[in-house]
Each structure stands twice: as structure tokens, then as C-alpha cells.
Amino acid sequence: MMLRSIFLSLTLLFPVYLSSQSNDNNVQEALQNFQYRKVLELLDGAPSTRENLLLKTHCYEKLYNYTAALNIYTQLLDEYPDDVNLVISMAECASQAGNSPLSLQCWIIADSLSPGNQFIQTQNAMAFYRNNNWERAIAQAKTVFETDSVPLLLRMVGDAYLYSNQGDSAIWYYSKAIDKNPADYLAVNKLGNIYLGLKFYDAVIDLTQTYLENINPAQQLIGQLNGMAHYSAGNYKEATERLKDNIILGDSSYTTCYYLGMSLYASQLYYEAVTWLEKAYNQNNSDTNIYLLYYYGTALSWTYNRKRGIEVLAEGVEIIEKMNEMLFDFDRSFGDAYMRSGSFVKAVEYYSSAYKRDSRAHSLLYNIGYCYDLNKDYKNAINYFERFLKTAPEGWDADMEDLADGEAGKPGTTDRLYRYVALRLEKLREELFFQNNK
């Protein structure tokens, strides 16, 4: 871990540059008083030497004007393209500016200028990670692991595997990160949440309890996770105690209030449950949890405010109805997408699901029949086309002289679609007859 000489030398650059300005007492005085704008004004007419330009980048960065600093770094690197310290400075400035792609580009260049430098390799891996390039981040980190298992990188690789949907590898690296640094609460939280999603509640409890007992009993995020695991495991008393401790520590988050209320509800302590479920409800207006509405409304109905309980339960019913409407739209859109991609069996599956949600959508009968027709399943195509024709309004125009065969799906009136189906049915019955004879 002693391969950070470049980073250390970089930190010594500015004092060297500043000493070169010792003849300018005004600049020195302004720097000592942190008057960075004044320094920039004093340097405005000064020669564009390397030292002056670097001093300008220092002032711009202190003023959070990273764009101006990056422009100067670009100018300097045009003149000194092989100066790894400049490249590192620009990489860090770009990162501060939120320009992750530029920062990554600089770290890649720095790695090529100083191969084998562990500090640069580590920063390179982190730059790939910040750019959501999980595969390259993992590969770069593994290069670092050949000489040193950096705990921060172990957790980062765990994240990269998690975001790549490789849960087993994520678990392994999070576990290694915790072995190297038991105080890494972020790794404990990530690993605990994976176990929670897998319903390994005892594993979550053991993991978080170990941290709370041996590292930091006041870590709210881990305490919250411990309470959630106890609730999910049915340990309502333990969940209540842990989550109440979190409340005392200042944690009034939605998650803590919700699980505390749910734990009290499960213990049939409805009056107490109402207090915390109400707090969760008041924090959750943008994305209401249907379970919260059910248990909060039910808890109210067991206490003094039954009228309010009915209102909350009605709110839940309204959301369920809206969700059903949205699910209908999703099913229909899935059906359209699968039909256009030629996956007619899947299209029928989603169109049928949408029709079950709303049997008034008669056009879905046509869509299902049309998919069966394209898939040469003439028996089912006839069945659904006949059902679709039965939905035609009385007196619809059955004149088919103006309709050519094969015009399905073209825009037109509803009568036109019915006329197409009536015409197509005649053809399908012939096709089915010959198909059966074969």
C-alpha cells in the first residue's frame, strides 16, 4: 500500500508553485487569506507560465469553478502531455465537476503513463464504476487485488456484480469486504439487504447484530435493517425494541416508522401502531404503499377513529382500481409488442389477460383472433373472430364490396373491421376444412 508516491508528490506541487510567487507579496497575502478571487485578478495580467496556470486551477477549484479549471488543465496538457501529475489533477477536477466520462479518460491515460501504480489502478477501477461500466470496473479491480485486497474496492466490486444481476458473486465480495473491514456499514447493509430479499432472515439478524454489538450500536441504517429482519422473521417484540431504539437515535424515516407500526400491529397493539403508521403515511404521499393503507386503516378501525379508518381503506381500494387499469394497459401494450415481433403465442397470452381485466374491450377479441390467424391456428382464429362479430352493434353495415381481403389492421371505421372479420371468416372456414382433410 506504499505505491501512492505520485499522489503524494502531487500534494506537494502547489507549495512549490506558490513559492515561485514569493516576489509578489499581494498574491501571497491573498492566498494566505483565502482570497482566491483576488488572486485570480492579480494573475489576470501575469505571464501564462506553468506555475501561474496551475495556481489559477487551484483558485478556480477552491471557488468550485471546475469548468474554468478544466479549461486550463486542457491547455497545460496540450503542452505537457506526458505529465502524469497533471493528468491526475485533471481527472480529480473532472470528477468534482461531475464529468465522469472525462475523469475516466484521464485515469486511463494516467494508467498508461504510469503502469503498475496501485493508486492509479484503484482510481481507474472506481472511474469505470462511476461510469456504470461494471465489467471493466471488475476487471480493473481484480488487477489491483493481485497485489492488495483494498476493502473499498471489494465493496465496489460487490456493487458491480449486484448491478450485473450476479448475486452470488456480489455476496462473496461483500463478505470479503466485511472480513477486511468489519466497520464498513455500507457493505453490511448491502449484504444484509441481499439476504433479506432472499428471505434469509436469520442471516440478516446475525450479520446486523454482530455489527451493532461489536462496532457501533448507534448506526441507524444497520439498526433499521435489524428491525426489518426481525419483523420479517415474525420476531415482533425484538423488531419493536430495535426500531424504537432507532427512533431514540433520531431516525424518523418512513421505513423505520412503517416497520415499527407493522410490528406493533402484529402484536395487536393497535393504538401504538396507529401512531407510527400515521407517521409513515404522512411521509409517503408520492408513492403510497397499499399495505400501509390496509394496515393503517384497519388499525384505525380497531381504535377510536373508525371514520378515518374507513377513509384510508377507501383510499386503498381506489389505488387498487387504478392499478388494475394500469395493468390492463400494460397487458395490451405487451400484446401489441409481442404481436409485432412475431411472438403470437405470447401476444395471445397478454391480450387474453387484458380481456379478463376488462371484458368491455371487444377489440381484444379481434386481436386474439388475428394472432391465431397469423399463427395458422384456424380453429381458434374462427372462435375469436365469431365472438368478436357477436359484439357488432345492431344495424351495422355488412356490405363488403369495398373491402379487399388482407386489409386487417388498416385504419378505418369499426364497421370496416367487422366487415373484414366477416369476410375473413369465410376464408378461414375453407382453410380449416382443407387443413382437417389433410
* Sign of CA pseudo-dihedral 211, 217, 221, 224: positive
Q: How far is Cα 372 from Cα 309, in angstroms, rounded to an integer? A: 49
Q: What is the pLDDT along the chain (438 residues), one digit of tens a residue?
A: 333 343 434 333 444 344 444 446 788 888 888 889 988 888 887 888 899 899 999 999 999 999 999 999 999 999 999 999 999 999 999 999 999 999 999 999 999 999 999 999 999 999 999 999 999 999 999 999 999 888 899 999 999 999 999 999 999 999 999 999 999 999 999 999 999 999 999 999 999 999 999 999 999 999 999 999 999 999 999 999 999 999 999 999 999 999 999 999 999 999 999 999 999 999 876 566 888 999 999 999 888 888 888 988 888 888 887 777 788 888 899 999 989 888 999 999 999 999 998 888 888 999 999 999 998 888 888 899 989 988 888 766 555 445 444 444 443 456 778 888 888 888 888 877 776 765
Determine contact, residues 395/405, Cβ cutoff 8 Å: no
Q: Which pLDDT score, from 0 to 100, does residue 251 have?
A: 95
User: Hey, is 405 helix, strand or coil?
Assistant: coil
Which domains does the chain show, CATH number per domain? 1-114 (1.25.40.10), 362-437 (no CATH)
Extract the C-alpha cell encoding 314.
377507501
Determine contact, residues 373/382, Cβ cutoff 8 Å: no
Q: How far is Cα 64 from Cα 98, in angstroms, rounded to an integer? A: 12
Q: How far is Cα 377 from Cα 381, in angstroms, rounded to an integer? A: 6
Extract the C-alpha cell encoding 210.
454482530
Q: Which pLDDT score, from 0 to 100, does residue 437 have?
A: 66
Determine contact, residues 225/247, Cβ cutoff 8 Å: no
Q: Which pLDDT score, from 0 to 100, does residue 14 have?
A: 44
Position 391, amino acid = T
Q: Which helix (H) or strand (E) holds 394?
A: none
Extract the C-alpha cell encoding 107.
485515469
User: Hey, is 200 helix, strand or coil?
Assistant: coil
The DSSP secondary structure of 46-84, one letter per residue, reads S---HHHHHHHHHHHHHTT-HHHHHHHHHHHHHH-TT-H
Determine contact, residues 201/231, Cβ cutoff 8 Å: no
How many CB atoms are located within 10 Å of the residue 304 CB? Answer: 11
User: Hey, is 177 helix, strand or coil?
Assistant: helix
Q: Which pLDDT score, from 0 to 100, does residue 430 have?
A: 81
pTM more than 0.75: no
Extract the C-alpha cell encoding 99.
464529468
The DSSP secondary structure of 362-405, one letter per residue, reads THHHHHHHHHHHHTT-HHHHHHHHHHHHTTSPTT-----TT--T
User: Per residue in 427-438, is it b (16+ CB within 10 Å) or e — as a string?
Assistant: ebeebeeeeeee
4 closest CA partner among 109, 117, 115, 88 = 117
User: Hey, is 99 helix, strand or coil?
Assistant: coil
